Amino acid sequence: MTDDSSPGTPIRLLLADDHPVVRAGLRAVLETEPGLVVVAEAATAEEAVDRAAGGDVDVVLMDLQFGKGMGGAEATARITARPGAPRVLVVTTYDSDADTLPAIEAGATGYLLKDAPPEDLAAAVRTAAAGRTTLAPTVAERLMNRLRMPGTALTRRETEVLTLVADGLSNQAIGHRLHLTEGTVKSHLARVYTKLGVDSRTAAVAAATDLGLIRR
């Protein structure tokens, strides 16, 4: 896709979400907007990757959670890695760092929450089609805070480790899941404790949840 489409050219959309009701709702909202047309839907991330390669999609509206199989962040990375790829606008219910950072790092042009007003959704689609970024206010605020206070921000790996701690996994199990040694897991947790000003796994999970760093 190009960024300089003529004003009369419709913006072609692919809706990627595993819930039919959500896809139907998005379609109903977007097809009332002039210049927007839904050309396809995908119920899995794998389907979205395949369909986005067809050459007739300008913007993919991508959920992050698809149950089993590939997730939305991985699908975003695969879509955006191709030459002339469509833009990807993440539309999800999750706004924790554990969700937003992988999606943005994967190449998402925008990140919007599903409770956004219809007019904001349509505006975000047009902004994404033009190659500009739209972020949900809570996401934008959190990213700004990370820039202002880099010493307290968790790395992606630290976030992954702490998320698994929150799921009840032991250090050994976390190491196995992430292909890390148990000592490396302990080192990551030690840095997390320092950044969050806590001294236990339980306190770290509670603090990170309060700050929106992990989803619970």
DSSP string, the chain: --S---TTSPEEEEEE-S-HHHHHHHHHHHTTSTTEEEEEEESSHHHHHHHHTTS--SEEEE-S--SSS--HHHHHHHHHTSTTPPEEEEEES--SHHHHHHHHHTT-SEEEETTS-HHHHHHHHHHHHTT--EE-HHHHHHHHHHHH-GGGPPPHHHHHHHHHHHTT--HHHHHHHHT--HHHHHHHHHHHHHHHT-SSHHHHHHHHHHTTSS--
Looking at the chain, which residues constitute the CATH 3.40.50.2300 domain(s)?
Answer: 11-145
The two three-digit tokens of residue 63, written as one number: 């959920």
Question: In this model, does residue 5 exceed pLDDT 90?
Answer: no
Task: Note the pLDDT of residue 6.
Answer: 46
Looking at the chain, which residues constitute the CATH 1.10.10.10 domain(s)?
Answer: 151-210
Contacts 24+ apart (CB under 8 A), 78-83: 78/49, 79/48, 79/49, 79/52, 79/53, 79/107, 80/106, 80/107, 80/108, 81/107, 82/53
The two three-digit tokens of residue 89, written as one number: 């606008």
Are the beta carbons of 17 and 63 closer than 8 angstroms? yes
Question: In this model, does residue 203 exceed pLDDT 50?
Answer: yes
> Average pLDDT over the chain, rounded to whole?
89
CATH level 2 (architecture), domain 11-145: 3-Layer(aba) Sandwich (3.40)
The two three-digit tokens of residue 135, written as one number: 């972020």
Q: What is the pLDDT of residues 134-150, one digit of tens each?
A: 998 888 877 776 666 66
Mean pLDDT calculated for residue range 178-202: 91
Q: What is the pLDDT of residues 71-94, one digit of tens each?
A: 999 999 999 999 999 999 999 988
Q: What is the pTM of this model?
A: 0.71
Q: What is the pLDDT of residues 156-174, one digit of tens each?
A: 889 889 999 999 999 999 9
| CATH number 1.10.1040.10 given to 151-210 | no
